[in-house]
């Protein structure tokens, strides 16, 4: 028996996704590899003139039960599981007329896509649970010392390249393909388990929680240069996100870049008007809405110019040439920009004009929507905290005026804008806004009154006539006294303190209208 990896002479192909299959199958046939296949896959190959043998003719057993039973046969699995350095395995094969398959090509029924459809029934989902496919994958991956397993159309080219070079694949390639195969079956089983757990559980959270992620990329480093880091993607995730973004320019991304870019994207996607968010250390140091992205960028950067140096920017509109020109002004340094898209001329400006041209990371995420992950995860020592993500929009019609004085019409847009922003600032969170612009933010303080003081000091004279938002209730009226001295025109907060009456009385004493939203937005 040969000790080296065997030459590929036979391939078993059974796939649901037939993308690239004809070219792949034709190339295998041209390399004198015999192809064996099952019903739908075989007919697809035959229609395109690719020579293929029916696996049922090989096993002597027909497909039955509407295709539920096709490949589960000793002549199939014996040909995959045989060890090419074991004479006794080959003796058993000879006794039962079994031939080896050196290449197995399988992708699975589209269970994940099926259960993602609205209104899918349990019966429909069950019919998309692949049985033979995972068994074939696991058998071939287990025997990767000899067998090559392909589970993705993206793997075809590397397999063909090896075959066309010397008729066989390398052990390193087979090991990689086996790893990817086991990840695929794990993700598939996880999707099936999650579907049935969610249907059976009376709780919003199942008794067992499985997370299977695939690595998207290695990162430059983690929060600090001595920490290694990587980005992983959720299976099947779609929509505008950093995981699906295309990097158009700049250095490799770091852990902190992605956190800040995600924070920027989270803010601007919740704003209907053209908007720009300026992020430092996951908090907005500037944000604005305006008639154009260029004006929004200018106003957002005016909010805290000192903190904006070395910041990350997010837009909810295409970055055009006017915006790029504004961002390229002398003295401004930008680490990264995320946006639905960038005009070609804007990319040219941002990558040639400013001093940071070669370094700035430009991330295109595509058309923004309001779809965001329904769950939020945070690791603690020995476990994982899981909660509903705080992504649902607030409903102004549910708000109520708690004070004797009502808010002026000109303040209402700013109040809604401030309330949108404050939920993206780390608790204790305070923001001061006026004319669609963030002028001051207090974040992450142990005392709410300290956050108020910081936000108002950042805003300076611009606090006069502005609105102030708090992510949680004021426990004492001291924050109101500070806001009144700064000239704040209106306040928005959740309410719910035992001392709400004292806080309301302080606002009434200073003639400051205050809205209770009834919803807290802590962001730890």
In degrees and rounded to multiples of 5, residue 337 shows phi and psi of -135, 130
Q: Are 14 and 4 in contact (CB under 8 A)?
A: no
Residue 445 CA to residue 430 CA, distance in Å, equals 10
Given the residues 48, 281, 357, 510, select the one marked as catalytic: 281
Report the candidate in 366, 423, 431, 429 with the shortest Cα–Cα distance to residue 393: 423
Residue 490 CA to residue 408 CA, distance in Å, equals 9
The partner residues of 15 in beta bridges, in order of sequence, read 107
Q: What is the DSSP string of 391-428?
A: -SPP-GGG-EE-SSSPPPHHHHHHHHHHHHHHTTSPSS
Residue 312 has which token pair? 């990350």
Q: How does strand 383-388 pair with strand 148-150?
A: unpaired
Q: What value, to the nearest 5°, has the Cα angle with vertex 128 and ends 126 and 129? A: 70
Residue 84 CA to residue 247 CA, distance in Å, equals 45
Residue 215 CA to residue 218 CA, distance in Å, equals 8
Q: Are 297 and 276 in contact (CB under 8 A)?
A: yes
Mark whether 73 is an active-site residue. no
Report the candidate in 521, 466, 494 with the shortest Cα–Cα distance to residue 402: 494
Given the residues 18, 48, 142, 209, select the one marked as catalytic: 142
SS3 category, 520: coil
Q: Are 288 and 267 in contact (CB under 8 A)?
A: no
Dihedral over Cα of 202, 207, 210, 211: its sign: positive
Q: Are 302 and 326 in contact (CB under 8 A)?
A: no
What amino acid positions are annotated as catalytic residues?
142, 281
């Amino acid at each position: 028996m040969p000790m080296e990896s065997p030459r590929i002479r036979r391939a078993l192909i059974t796939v649901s996704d037939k993308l690239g299959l004809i070219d792949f199958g034709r190339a295998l046939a041209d390399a004198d590899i015999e192809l064996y296949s099952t019903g739908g896959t075989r007919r697809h190959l035959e229609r395109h003139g690719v020579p293929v043998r029916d696996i049922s003719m090989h096993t002597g057993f027909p497909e039955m039960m509407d295709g539920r039973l096709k490949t589960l046969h000793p002549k199939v699995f014996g040909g995959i599981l045989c060890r090419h350095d074991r004479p006794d395995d080959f003796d058993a094969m000879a006794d039962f007329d079994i031939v080896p398959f050196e290449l197995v090509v399988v992708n699975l029924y589209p269970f994940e896509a099926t259960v993602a459809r609205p209104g899918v029934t349990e019966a429909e989902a069950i019919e998309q649970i692949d049985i033979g496919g995972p068994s074939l994958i696991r058998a071939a991956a287990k025997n990767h010392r000899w067998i090559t397993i392909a589970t993705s159309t993206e793997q075809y080219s590397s397999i063909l390249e090896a075959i066309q070079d010397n008729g066989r694949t390398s052990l390193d390639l087979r090991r990689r393909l086996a790893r990817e195969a086991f990840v695929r079956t794990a993700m598939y089983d996880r999707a099936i388990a999650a579907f049935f757990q969610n249907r059976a559980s009376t709780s919003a959270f199942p008794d067992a929680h499985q997370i299977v992620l695939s690595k998207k990329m290695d990162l430059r480093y983690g929060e600090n240069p001595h920490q290694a880091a990587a980005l992983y993607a959720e299976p099947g995730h779609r929509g505008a996100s950093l995981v699906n973004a295309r990097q158009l320019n700049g250095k490799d991304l770091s852990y902190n870049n992605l956190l800040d870019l995600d924070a920027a994207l989270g803010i601007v996607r919740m704003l209907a008007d053209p908007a720009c968010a300026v992020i430092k250390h996951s908090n907005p140091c500037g944000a604005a809405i305006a008639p154009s992205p260029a004006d929004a960028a200018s106003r957002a950067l005016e909010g805290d110019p000192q903190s904006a140096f070395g910041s990350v920017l997010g837009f909810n509109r295409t970055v055009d040439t006017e915006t790029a020109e504004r961002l390229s002004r002398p003295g401004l340094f930008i680490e990264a920009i995320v946006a639905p898209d960038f005009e070609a001329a804007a990319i040219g400006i941002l990558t040639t004009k400013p001093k940071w041209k070669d370094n700035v990371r430009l991330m295109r995420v595509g058309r923004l929507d309001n779809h965001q992950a329904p769950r939020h995860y945070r690791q603690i020592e020995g476990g994982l905290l899981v909660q509903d993500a705080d992504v649902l929009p607030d409903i102004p019609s549910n708000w109520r005026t708690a004070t004797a004085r009502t808010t002026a019409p000109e303040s209402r847009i700013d109040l809604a804008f401030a309330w949108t922003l404050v939920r993206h600032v780390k608790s204790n969170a305070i923001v001061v806004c006026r004319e669609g612009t963030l002028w001051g933010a207090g974040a992450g303080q142990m005392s709410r009154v300290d956050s108020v003081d910081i936000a108002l000091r950042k805003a300076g004279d611009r606090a006069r006539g502005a609105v102030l938002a708090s992510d949680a209730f004021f426990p004492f009226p001291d924050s109101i006294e500070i806001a009144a001295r700064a000239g704040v025109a209106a306040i928005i907060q959740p309410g719910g303190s035992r001392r709400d009456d004292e806080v309301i009385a302080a606002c009434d004493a200073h003639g400051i209208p205050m809205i209770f939203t009834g919803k807290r937005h802590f962001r730890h």
